[in-house]
């Protein structure tokens, strides 16, 4: 078993390797003068079970090409099995045709990863579960719900909590967390006028006097999240917090979160935050390294991955 880290999130790859008691496989990933990507695996991987850790977050296209070229390098180096470990699967929000003459980019990316040489994919909280069917190779889609539920139980032990789905499409995800916490569920009905802009229309459920916890898979600009927080507080919620798996946090999202009345926003380290940006005090990061390490060990040993969902 070997682990290769691309450049999107080296700290996460190093943490996963440390959990497994391993060192990262030596690899050279560099750019030519015209910014072409060159990959060279510096260790023998013939006959090995190799895991490539790479989130396809910003810059999405560069990180995706790094992943594809690394997969090809390993395939041509005779690795026995190659698993693409993609904590954050970019292009997942383009999982269907939303209007005429538009692509299904998530399917295209799935085809590229497969053709580049991946034998299986390991990811966390796909934006839409049906994306697993876009691949013709096995896909293990882990869930952040158990990780979030443990943290919520610890931090909100003596508070009257209510889990909230920020939109109807995320009800299944929020319900899974609410079931683990044995608490009530509310839903926010919103209308999205255009990409990145949303308007909260109604809160379905009685949130008055409750400590509301929003559950979602992606926070990008932060606009929808902040609108949801405002709507919950306006309807009598005592507090509003959020647990989101993937902190894309593009543009002015961090400033928006810092200025919001949200009590706390908890994300995972599936995406590496820009170290030059100031992290607001109400942003908390949970690591998924132990979860990924356990899944990778189980895959390598051909044991159950679904047991990690418990």
* 120 and 68 assigned to the same domain: yes
* Containing structural domain, residue 272: 145-287
Res 202: pLDDT: 87
Give the dihedral of Cα atoms 193, 197, 166, 209; nearest 10 deg. -110
Q: Where are the beta strands (DSSP E) in the chain?
A: 2-5, 27-31, 37-41, 49-53, 81-86, 120-124, 139-142, 161-165, 184-194, 197-204, 211-219, 239-247, 265-268, 283-286
The answer to whether 216 is a known ligand-binding residue is yes
Token pair 């390490």: residue: 293
* 174 and 92 assigned to the same domain: no
Question: In the annotation, is 107 catalytic?
Answer: no
Q: What confidence tens digit (pLDDT) does each residue in 119-162 have?
A: 999 999 999 888 999 999 999 999 999 999 999 999 998 899 99
User: Mapping DSSP to helix (H, G, I), strand (E, B) and coil, where does residue 197 land?
Assistant: strand
* 40 and 100 assigned to the same domain: yes
The answer to whether 224 is a known ligand-binding residue is yes
How far apart (Å, rounded) are the C-alpha atoms in residues 189 and 72? 44
The answer to whether 184 is a known ligand-binding residue is no
CATH of the domain at 129: 3.40.50.2020
Q: What confidence tens digit (pLDDT) does each residue in 167-190 have?
A: 888 899 999 999 999 999 999 987
Q: What is the pTM of this model?
A: 0.92
User: Rounded to whole angstroms, what are the CA distances from 285 to 78, 148, 263, 272, 288?
Assistant: 37, 11, 14, 10, 10
Res 190: pLDDT: 77
Percent of the chain with pLDDT over 70: 96
- Tally of structural domains, the chain: 2
Q: In the 8-state DSSP scheme, what is residue 99?
A: S
* 251 and 151 assigned to the same domain: yes
* 180 and 222 assigned to the same domain: yes
* 173 and 223 assigned to the same domain: yes
Kindly name the residue from 2, 153, 190, 284 that is annotated as catalytic. Answer: 190
* 104 and 212 assigned to the same domain: no
The answer to whether 14 is a known ligand-binding residue is no
* 64 and 180 assigned to the same domain: no
Res 121: pLDDT: 97
How far apart (Å, rounded) are the C-alpha atoms in residues 225 and 258? 12
Res 307: pLDDT: 81
* 218 and 270 assigned to the same domain: yes
The answer to whether 93 is a known ligand-binding residue is yes
Q: In the 8-state DSSP scheme, what is residue 261?
A: -
The answer to whether 49 is a known ligand-binding residue is no
* 181 and 136 assigned to the same domain: no
* 12 and 139 assigned to the same domain: yes
* 170 and 262 assigned to the same domain: yes
Res 259: pLDDT: 93
How far apart (Å, rounded) are the C-alpha atoms in residues 197 and 218? 14
What residue ranges of the chain have pLDDT lower than 70? 192-200, 310
């Amino acid at each position: 078993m070997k682990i290769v880290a691309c450049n999107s999130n080296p700290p996460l790859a190093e943490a996963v390797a440390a959990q497994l008691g391993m060192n990262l496989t030596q690899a050279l990933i560099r750019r030519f003068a015209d910014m072409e990507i060159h990959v060279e695996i510096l260790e023998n991987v013939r006959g090995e079970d190799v895991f490539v850790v790479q989130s396809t977050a910003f810059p999405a296209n560069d990180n995706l090409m790094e992943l594809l070229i690394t997969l090809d390098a390993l395939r041509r180096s005779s690795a026995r099995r190659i698993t693409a470990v993609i904590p954050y699967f970019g292009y997942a929000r383009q999982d269907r045709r939303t209007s005429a003459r538009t692509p299904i980019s998530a399917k295209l990316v799935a085809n590229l990863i497969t053709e580049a040489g991946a034998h299986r994919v390991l990811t966390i909280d796909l934006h839409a579960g049906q994306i697993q069917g876009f691949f013709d190779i096995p896909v293990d889609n882990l869930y952040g719900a158990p990780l979030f539920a443990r943290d919520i139980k610890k931090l909100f032990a003596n508070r009257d909590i209510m889990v909230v789905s920020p939109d109807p499409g995320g009800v299944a995800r929020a319900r899974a967390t609410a079931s683990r916490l044995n608490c009530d569920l509310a839903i926010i009905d919103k209308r999205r006028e255009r990409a990145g802009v949303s308007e909260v229309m109604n809160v379905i459920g009685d949130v008055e006097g409750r400590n509301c916890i929003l559950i979602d898979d992606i926070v990008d600009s932060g606009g929808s999240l902040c609108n949801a927080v405002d709507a919950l507080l306006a309807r009598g919620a005592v507090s509003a917090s959020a647990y989101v798996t993937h902190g894309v946090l593009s543009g002015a999202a961090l400033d928006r979160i810092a200025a919001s009345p949200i009590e706390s926003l908890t994300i995972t380290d599936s995406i590496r935050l820009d170290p030059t940006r100031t992290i607001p005090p109400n942003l908390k990061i949970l690591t998924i390294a132990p979860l990924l390490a356990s899944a990778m060990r189980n895959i390598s040993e051909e044991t159950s991955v679904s047991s990690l969902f418990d």
